[in-house]
Chains A and B, each alone.
Chain A
Amino acid sequence: MSLTDSLGTNWAWVIPALCASAFFIIFPIRRLVPRIGAAVSILAILLGFALFWFVLVGLLSDGPGAYSINWLTVGDTTLKWGVVVDRLSVTMLGLVTFVALLVQVYSLAYLTHHGERDPGFGRYFAFHSLFAAAMLTLVLADNLLFLYIAWELVGLGSYLLIGFWHERRSAAEAAKKAFVTTRIGDVGLFIGIIMLFKATGTFDISTIIHVASQPDGINQATLNISVFLIFLGAMGKSAQFPFHVWLPDAMEGPTPVSALIHAATMVAAGVYLVARLLPLYELAPTVLLIVASVGLFTFIFAGTLALVMTDIKRVLAYSTISHLGLMMLALGAGGLGAAIFHLVAHGVSKALLFLGAGSVMHAMNDETDMWKMGGLRRRLPITGWTFVIGAASLAGIIPLAGFFSKDEILLHVLDHLNPVFIVLALLGVVLSALYMARIVLVVFFGPPKIENESAHESPLVMTLPLILLAFFAATVGFLAFNYTNDYPGFGGFLEGHGEFKLTIWLTVASLALAVGGVTLGWMTYRSGTISHRRLAERYAWIHKLVINKYYLDDAIQWTIDKLVLTFGGFVGVFDRVVINDTGADGSAYTVWLSAMKVRLVQTGRFYNYGMLMAGGVVGLALVWWIVQT
């Protein structure tokens, strides 16, 4: 048997292990030979991507696999580190390794300004390897505890990379915000996991699902609460309202990092978690409805924000939040395949858009204000046209990836949820098309501005990933169809049942709305038929509300500053005044005072002592006499 034959699902664990080893190799040498560090990191992820194909082939020929090793014995339970290789995890493997690979290659040039490498070059690639290793472990984990460990390490990776330029105050702040915000959700996840452990005695995901599906498996209330708490964790990582506040700030990291976070790692984790546990959620319909509602609300809410932001990366960030909401909506409608399909389509498109934005910033000395750009498609043709493809994909224009995936989601929403959901979801589709038209038209079309006179196209290391991603953003969608009998379309392939279907009127309606949105955008931001400035003036209060992010960030900041910190201060004062000064020093002072009084007795005069002694003797004698008789 040759090596290539034996490379199958058993090798899946090697992929994260490669990246983890890369981290441990690079970290010590990061400052001595940063370029070798970068090479090691890219080599590891490249091998991982190659291995993904073998794992995929193995999966298709041999079916799913799972294996584990023991880690720690807690009481009667042995905790394991185990890997599950099925269609869901392998899809994620492909997405993560592919996007991470392109992002890392792109970073080679992005972190080099005018021939000068960033001082943290080696560290940057070390963190990338760690981040990828954590995310790859997360998607392969077969038990919730192992998943939680990887989950937290993904958080660590994002913390380190968002705060990569730590000498920038805003970057350090954003890194902390991302970590702490997601940690709030993680507490829910953690308690949820422990509740499921208490109910079933195991962390193993398939066993938990099996137990829960038995008629008397898990108490319904326990199940509801635990999966809801787990959803809180997913809301944190996948930036669902109101946990989304960390994601727009996370753009303080280098732009390729944003591409990675928004496309393949970090935010994908929450969607993946809910998808992985979807059988549990389906046993808790109430919670599933919450998932759908949160997703829908986030979809529209973030869409309105994307419409008014002027920072190119912020627009993209809110667009990500919005589309993550759409994925959650899909999961809430039970559409596992649709959600993951959109995760992949969005991942490819959004990575493309962020890398494109990075290319623009690279050309314009890190300018991010889109109103200072304009007509850039002439100066940056490759960046410009690939960006158009990515944006059109997310706007839902046929025949790009986003069109197909979004369509599947809408179909599930139509079939499984209240009609209100589909109506609002279609509204979200218009918003998506509108803000994507806005960003493309303002940045790349129209007359070039003076500010970007010196802008020039990025080097090939940066444009090549753009071209590759654009290719996939244009073609991934065609996976939706059922070409052969063995392949029932992407959704059916992923879920293992069901087949590709189409509801013509819905497809036409959603496409019409998307085109309508783009046309509206054209009229507003290109031809000038509608003046967005006048609109903003007429509905000034709405504009003010939205541009201030509905004051949500301010409200949270206020809560932290005024409530949490004040409470902390109050406890601190209580500790000083009541516990310490009164309780400890106060009693000490009382003792000292009484000691001072006792000192008065010690007069040093012989007859005083004599009197006391005599009294004592008499007293003792009395006691003795009483005891005797």
Chain B
Amino acid sequence: MFSGWLTTIVFLPLAGAIIIALFVRGDKNVRWFAGIISLAELVLSIAVFAQYDLGAGADQFQLVDKIEDWIPVESFKVQYFLAIDGLSAPMVLLTGILGMVSVFASWSVKERLPEYFMWLLILQSAVMGVFTSMDFFLFFIFWELELIPMFFLISIWGSKPNREYSAMKFLIFTLLGSAFMLVGILVLFFSFDTFDMTLLPDAISRGGILLPASLVFTMIFIAFAVKLPIWPLHSWLPDAHTDAPTAASVMLAGVLLKMGAYGMLRISATMFPEVMAGIAWLLASVGVINILYGAAIVLRQTDLKRLIAFSSISHMGFVVLGLSAVVGVNGQVSTVGITGAALQMFTHGTITGLLFLLAGFIYERTHTRHIPHLGGLATRMPMLTGALVLAGLASLGLPSTSGFVSEIHVFLGVFPVWSWLTAVGAFGVVLTAGYILWMIQRAMFGPENQHLNNVSDATVMEMVPVAVMVAAIMVVGIYPAIIADVFTTGIQPIVDSLQIAVTANLQ
């Protein structure tokens, strides 16, 4: 089976990066070439998403690209296996959107330009690979590949003086996590003689795993927990975000964090439903801690990017909280909370991506991220202000934006299971309203600032990515079924296996 769509979408940016390295000369050409590649990638991702068949009789895994004996060593069979299901299709779309946005957000980068766009494109290939790989080893390769471009993007184009520290911290945290995951993957392979992620869940449920399932689960889970990040493994995130260049922040917040959440759904919940249901209480508690802990810290942040970074920790808590619905209520597992977690991945990706993008634009103009030094920008930057207000309102979960859609799913799904914890977590919503509106008020409103009287509004080129993100936020906000229904088809099989696990547990 080889439809070729996913191979194209995964390797097009990489090919683009190689062409830039070898053939494209001149900053302007590089910029436009990368722009065209990212646009093509966006079109492809929309095409892939649109092709995904929601029909009742459709295969769970579609657009399969499969070479069974990719690494044909008898004792180490790795397949080249790309496919999408309802869980990964929206993530491919998200990556396409944010990849394009991050390239267009980099229009004013001047330093070592060809290299910069190369890394950015390679990063996009790696993330696409993570979301489409159905072979665990291939998944791991892409998972690790993503680190290299991000490391260089932060450490070379990041903001001084801490960029090397932040880049290294990001690298070490993630590598430590993935070291555990590698052991877990190998244990699974030695137990079942396959890396095929579509076969592993069945195999594991039949038993015969070499180490206790909970141990293997934990090893793999740690990697995802670092990436997501779950408290208290989050301390790489604020530093990495603060020091990363705008495009890297957008990718980091928009898709890289989602790899952790995606892994929890694709691997932790799918392969180890019993263990996952067993730690649901932990997920609920940690989710609420993430929400409130992140929000509490944001309250005192005065650095624009750091503020958004901590708000990411808070909002990713909703993903974890949504996942805690895996245990079900009265023995009935429902798709709602888990769909909410998946939706939150998508909506947080677009919303926080947009926030980082705008923070980057504001920084380029004012050369400061210190919020008290900003202020009074609204008159001079009406378009950027409008976009920031919209992104902020989406972030605080205003209905008619996508932020509300995912939050309502999470609350509806989790409240019946963990009522008190959910009610406590709901106060995160108030804190979010407080800090987001404070940020907007101090950064953009107020009397005109004499130090900043020569700033200009966004250019047309800059408004392109902004408009794309705004569209993504509003469309999902007004007609959520466009994403929610796709996610539900991907989550239904997970819920089915969770249901079996929960029922077995009750008996």
B145 in the interface, Cβ–Cβ < 8 Å? no
CB contact between A568 and one of B296, B405, B445 (< 8 Å): that residue = B296
A487 in the interface, Cβ–Cβ < 8 Å? no
CA distance A145 to B404 in the complex (A): 11
Size of interface on A: residues with Cβ below 8 Å to B: 47
Stretch at the interface among A148-156, A283-291, A399-407, A421-429: A148-156
Q: A194 and B400: CB pair below 8 A?
A: no
B446 in the interface, Cβ–Cβ < 8 Å? yes
CA distance A599 to B446 in the complex (A): 58
Q: B232 and A579: CB pair below 8 A?
A: yes
Stretch at the interface among B29-37, B83-91, B194-202, B409-417: B409-417
Q: B445 and A73: CB pair below 8 A?
A: no
Q: A567 and B446: CB pair below 8 A?
A: no
Q: A567 and B173: CB pair below 8 A?
A: no
Q: A580 and B235: CB pair below 8 A?
A: yes
Please give, as numbers and ranges, the residues of chain A lying within 8 Å of B426 by CB-CB distance: 187, 190-191
CB within 8 Å for A190 and B400 given contacts A75-B334, A167-B376, A172-B441: no
Please give, as numbers and ranges, the residues of chain A lying within 8 Å of B234 by CB-CB distance: 579
Q: B172 and A179: CB pair below 8 A?
A: no
A198 in the interface, Cβ–Cβ < 8 Å? yes
B484 in the interface, Cβ–Cβ < 8 Å? yes
Seed contacts A187-B426, A588-B172; 18 additional CB < 8 Å A-B pairs: A72-B405, A72-B481, A73-B484, A76-B334, A149-B399, A159-B437, A166-B445, A166-B446, A167-B376, A167-B447, A169-B447, A180-B433, A180-B434, A190-B429, A191-B422, A568-B298, A575-B293, A579-B232
CB within 8 Å for A75 and B446 given contacts A149-B399, A183-B430, A565-B299: no
Q: Which 10 A-B pairs have the closest CB atoms?
A: A568-B299, A149-B399, A172-B445, A166-B445, A580-B235, A75-B336, A571-B296, A176-B437, A183-B433, A172-B441
B residues in contact (CB < 8 Å) with A:
169, 172-173, 232, 234-236, 293, 296-301, 334-336, 339, 376, 378-379, 393, 398-400, 404-405, 408-409, 411-413, 415-416, 422-423, 426-427, 429-430, 433-434, 437-438, 441, 444-448, 480-481, 484-485, 488
CB contact between A194 and one of B173, B298, B415 (< 8 Å): that residue = B415
A14 in the interface, Cβ–Cβ < 8 Å? no
When C-beta atoms are compared, the residue in chain A nearest to B313 turns out to be: A575
- Interface code A42-72, partner B: CB below 8 Å = 1, 0 otherwise? 0000000000000000000000000000011
Q: B485 and A167: CB pair below 8 A?
A: no
Please give, as numbers and ranges, the residues of chain B lying within 8 Å of A567 by CB-CB distance: 296
When C-beta atoms are compared, the residue in chain B nearest to A155 turns out to be: B398
CA distance A159 to B446 in the complex (A): 15
CA distance A187 to B433 in the complex (A): 11
A74 in the interface, Cβ–Cβ < 8 Å? yes
CB contact between B378 and one of A167, A183, A575, A588 (< 8 Å): that residue = A167
Q: B433 and A568: CB pair below 8 A?
A: no
Q: B430 and A184: CB pair below 8 A?
A: yes
CB contact between B430 and one of A74, A153, A180, A583 (< 8 Å): that residue = A180
Interface positions of A from 160 to 209, Cβ below 8 Å from B: 163, 166-169, 172-173, 175-176, 179-180, 183-184, 187, 190-191, 194-195, 197-198
Please give, as numbers and ranges, the residues of chain B lying within 8 Å of A173 by CB-CB distance: 441
When C-beta atoms are compared, the residue in chain A nearest to B379 turns out to be: A167
CA distance A75 to B485 in the complex (A): 10
CA distance A150 to B404 in the complex (A): 12
CB within 8 Å for A72 and B484 given contacts A153-B399, A584-B235: yes
CB contact between A74 and one of B399, B412, B448 (< 8 Å): that residue = B412
CA distance A153 to B477 in the complex (A): 13
Interface positions of A from 184 to 236, Cβ below 8 Å from B: 184, 187, 190-191, 194-195, 197-198
CA distance A182 to B90 in the complex (A): 34
CB within 8 Å for A75 and B413 given contacts A565-B299, A584-B169: yes
A502 in the interface, Cβ–Cβ < 8 Å? no
Q: A583 and B232: CB pair below 8 A?
A: yes
A569 in the interface, Cβ–Cβ < 8 Å? yes
CB contact between B438 and one of A176, A569, A584 (< 8 Å): that residue = A176
Please give, as numbers and ranges, the residues of chain B lying within 8 Å of A564 by CB-CB distance: 299
CA distance A559 to B298 in the complex (A): 17
Please give, as numbers and ranges, the residues of chain A lying within 8 Å of B429 by CB-CB distance: 183, 187, 190
Please give, as numbers and ranges, the residues of chain A lying within 8 Å of B236 by CB-CB distance: 584
Q: B300 and A194: CB pair below 8 A?
A: no
Interchain residue pairs with CB less than 8 A apart (16): A72-B405, A72-B481, A72-B484, A73-B481, A74-B409, A145-B408, A159-B437, A172-B446, A179-B437, A180-B433, A183-B429, A191-B422, A194-B415, A565-B300, A569-B299, A579-B234
CA distance A226 to B423 in the complex (A): 12
CA distance A584 to B485 in the complex (A): 40
Q: A584 and B173: CB pair below 8 A?
A: yes
B480 to chain A, nearest CB (A): 5
Q: A163 and B398: CB pair below 8 A?
A: no
